[in-house]
Structure 1
Amino acid sequence: MSRTREKRVGEQLHVNERPVKFTYWPILRRGRGRATTQTQVFTNDPWGLIRASLNEIENDQIRTDAEYYFEQSVDFQKAYNNSTSIASKPLLLYYCMMNLVKTLLLKRGFKPSVDEAKHGLQESNSDLSFENHKLVYYRSSGTTSNLFDDFYQFLTNDRLKNRAIIKLSDIVYQILNGHRIMCSSTRSAEKFISLKDITLLNNDDNELWMNFKVEKHDLRRLRVSVKDFLKRTDLKDNFSHVSSDGIYYEFELDTPITHGGWPSDYLEQLSNKLIPPTWVVLSSSKPYRKYYAYMANKSDNELVLPQLASIYAFSFYLSSITRYRPSQFKKIMKSNYSTFVSEFINNQLVQFVYLVASEFAKRDVVKPSIV
């Protein structure tokens, strides 16, 4: 039994008499007015939502460029959907993602131009086996734009070292869709833990914080202690174990955020306490977005990328070997990794597009239930 600290007393946060749910984009600001809470956007056509958002770009040249890259992405997506060849799909998948990322950076004002942007990733010439292969990361400079570095900065407001090494064996386990397939193929322990009942709370002292739960069974079957769970997910920096029952361990934000009577103004700050260590998977049924924490191998100095960056980097790798080393791709598709790679190639794009659509909208974009 792990040691716990005393659980804070409070009630679920309500704004305008509605409970506030955890999200990466909790508020909407218009002008200088107070922040208001946001709801989810349901759509079967995230591409249409992205296309409409480009009209918000005020600069004519930037809007024209964004529309151009967006149309390229759409064309690659159509070719990808119509392709029946596993040999060509990785290339179509990557270029669809690449042009969508270019569009995103222009739309969000991160870059005024992505003309002549380089990939920013390159295969290492060392061991070419799937287990030991590496990618090399290149930073952008004043004269050179490297798209992966720009995307990484956009997602993290940080940068990796120039010519940093990204091990393929790291990023494949960081891809949530197909994770159990990958772990089964390699007989490795799973690294994702589902976060349940993420709840935003407040009290009469105008303090805000959040709690979440983890199923005891999940940690026990992976032989992970509460202490190691917090350490490997980096949640230890902000959260502590505060209670347990027969099913769950409960965790709570250590330091509450004090507000002056307008909690919605501080929701973004609160959400940021949980965003960096979490991944999300989308579904067409409630709760529509399910959150997970990733347990890195701290002893191996595992490089953990943001969810979208790991998907993008692995897509680059598959497109690269498809173009330049088709024999290596064939070898992978005959190995134990083939099921995971097929799952990624055939099903990852839908999740990627919905996640990126949320970045365009700065709001949860989800697929509606079938009625």
Structure 2
Amino acid sequence: MYPADEAGLDGERDGSALSAQGRKLDFSFWPIRASATINVPSTRLFSLDPWAIIRQSIESECEPARLPEALACLGQASAFFEVGTSQGNEAARPLALYYSYLNLMKAYCLTRGGVATFERSLHGLWEEHAAGHGVENAVLSTVKPGRPFATDLKVFERIAMTLPGQSPALAGKYRLASVVPQILSGHRLWAEAADETERFFIVRDIAFRHHPASGDVWLRIDMLREDLSRFGIEPQDMLSRAGLAGTFRQVRCDRPKRVRFEQITPRRPVDGDPLPELQHLIDALRPSLWMTVTVIPPYRRYYLYLSPSTEADQRLPQLLSMYAMTYWLGSITRYRPHHFDELLRGNYGPRIRDFVTGQPLQFLYLMASEISRRDVARPSIL
């Protein structure tokens, strides 16, 4: 039985779960590992030390001419991370974390982004000082008029260009009030502080689908009906606000508690092997999908972020929103530490504390996955 409101919808495309080497292929940003002769399903890595995985990936894949700089950046990133996550002066932690992320991203861009060197580079972000000191008035600019070193690399821009599935185009200005809700960890604390409704909605299932006769492959997404209805969000509005309108469509679902969407345009392999086509499907979805790393199966949770229509130009990739927020807090603690104390006493205080203490390990595991191109998770052991 289909819900009454789905009567006018098309049924989903004929197909079945995609399998590889005799088992169902679970969704991942990196589902396939290419070997010299064949594409094989990727496996998840469990590690208590993601820095070791990052280092191994850089050593094996970074061009020799760039490797010394990449490893030096990685060493600094690890050292700053230790300071930023250790117990101590609360106001010193955001600045240490920012320099950790900055150097980790430099190592990533040297390995993956075609950057020869960061010897002449700028942060690529500038804090515009506003009348107030809080989140509501803060603005970050990606362009600073009159900067004398116009030919220097801008790190923030290079990160945007290197992250897969993302557009390198950046807005000239980003309002912190629009960036903060894009950070998944502590999102409900933001909603309470800002008196706003939640914008993240969990994806209950993402599946690779396959039509054996044609070879076509595509993605299917399931959401819980009640997750949308309790906030009065219609499926088409969800697609639009998540940035999926035109690439996904709602289809009938035989599970009454779920709302189902499928990719409109499938990929057809030229040589009969659907596996090389999967990354194209994923890259089209990635700008709309946020992820958390967990210590329990399935070790990943995926979410859609629903931007207000007025903030479409303020949307950033998940890692860049975390990076931008850390830059802002680091700038405050470096130049105006007394303003940081004011922030902690204000409505956003619990949100900022949660971000500084709870977000670093998520950022690290997300980056370990990005650099190694595999799901990296923390093992659930004592």
In structure 1, the partner of 2:99 is 95
Matched, 1:52 2:60: no
Asked if the contact 1:170–1:302 (Cα under 8 Å) also holds between the matched residues in 2, the reply is: no
Matched, 1:339 2:350: yes
- The farther-off stretch of 150-159 and 6-15 is 150-159
Matched, 1:145 2:150: no
Matched, 1:169 2:177: yes
Matched, 1:310 2:318: no
Asked if the contact 2:178–2:311 (Cα under 8 Å) also holds between the matched residues in 1, the reply is: no
Matched, 1:238 2:243: no
Structure 2: 5+ residue stretches without partners: none
Residue 49 of structure 1 aligns to a residue in which SS? Answer: helix
> What is the one-letter code of the residue matched to 2:129?
N
Asked if the contact 1:29–1:35 (Cα under 8 Å) also holds between the matched residues in 2, the reply is: yes
In structure 2, the partner of 1:355 is 366
1:275-332 Cα shifts (integer Å, max 9, x gaps): 1210001100111111111100113445100000000000000000111122221111
1:77-110 Cα shifts (integer Å, max 9, x gaps): 1222333221111111111111111111112242
Output aligned runs, 1:1-371, within 5 Å: 1=5, 3-31=8-36, 33-57=37-61, 59-128=63-132, 129-138=134-143, 143-155=151-163, 156-161=166-171, 164-203=172-211, 204-244=213-253, 245-259=255-269, 260-370=271-381
Structure 2 Cα separation of the partners of residues 303 and 82 of structure 1: 32
Across the aligned residues of Structure 1 and Structure 2, the Cα RMSD in angstroms comes to 1.9
> Structure 1 residue 344: deviation in Å?
0.4
- The farther-off stretch of 21-30 and 45-54 is 21-30
Residue 98 of structure 2 aligns to a residue in which SS? Answer: helix
Residue 83 of structure 1 aligns to a residue in which SS? Answer: coil
Residue 28 of structure 1 aligns to a residue in which SS? Answer: strand
TM-score by length of 1: 0.94
Structure 2 Cα separation of the partners of residues 231 and 61 of structure 1: 44
TM-score by length of 2: 0.91
Structure 1: 5+ residue stretches without partners: none
Structure 2 Cα separation of the partners of residues 330 and 82 of structure 1: 19
Structure 2 Cα separation of the partners of residues 185 and 17 of structure 1: 49
1:132-180 Cα shifts (integer Å, max 9, x gaps): 210001399982111111111112252225xx01010111000001111
> Structure 1 residue 30: deviation in Å?
3.4
- Shift in alpha-carbon separation, 1:242–1:57, aligned structure 2, 3 A: closer
Residue 336 of structure 1 aligns to a residue in which SS? Answer: coil
Q: Across the two proteins, how many residue pairs are aligned to each other?
A: 368
Asked if the contact 2:209–2:218 (Cα under 8 Å) also holds between the matched residues in 1, the reply is: yes
Structure 1 Cα separation of the partners of residues 354 and 371 of structure 2: 26
> Structure 1 residue 58: deviation in Å?
5.8
Structure 2 Cα separation of the partners of residues 287 and 358 of structure 1: 15
Asked if the contact 2:113–2:162 (Cα under 8 Å) also holds between the matched residues in 1, the reply is: no
Structure 2 Cα separation of the partners of residues 83 and 76 of structure 1: 13
Asked if the contact 2:186–2:351 (Cα under 8 Å) also holds between the matched residues in 1, the reply is: yes
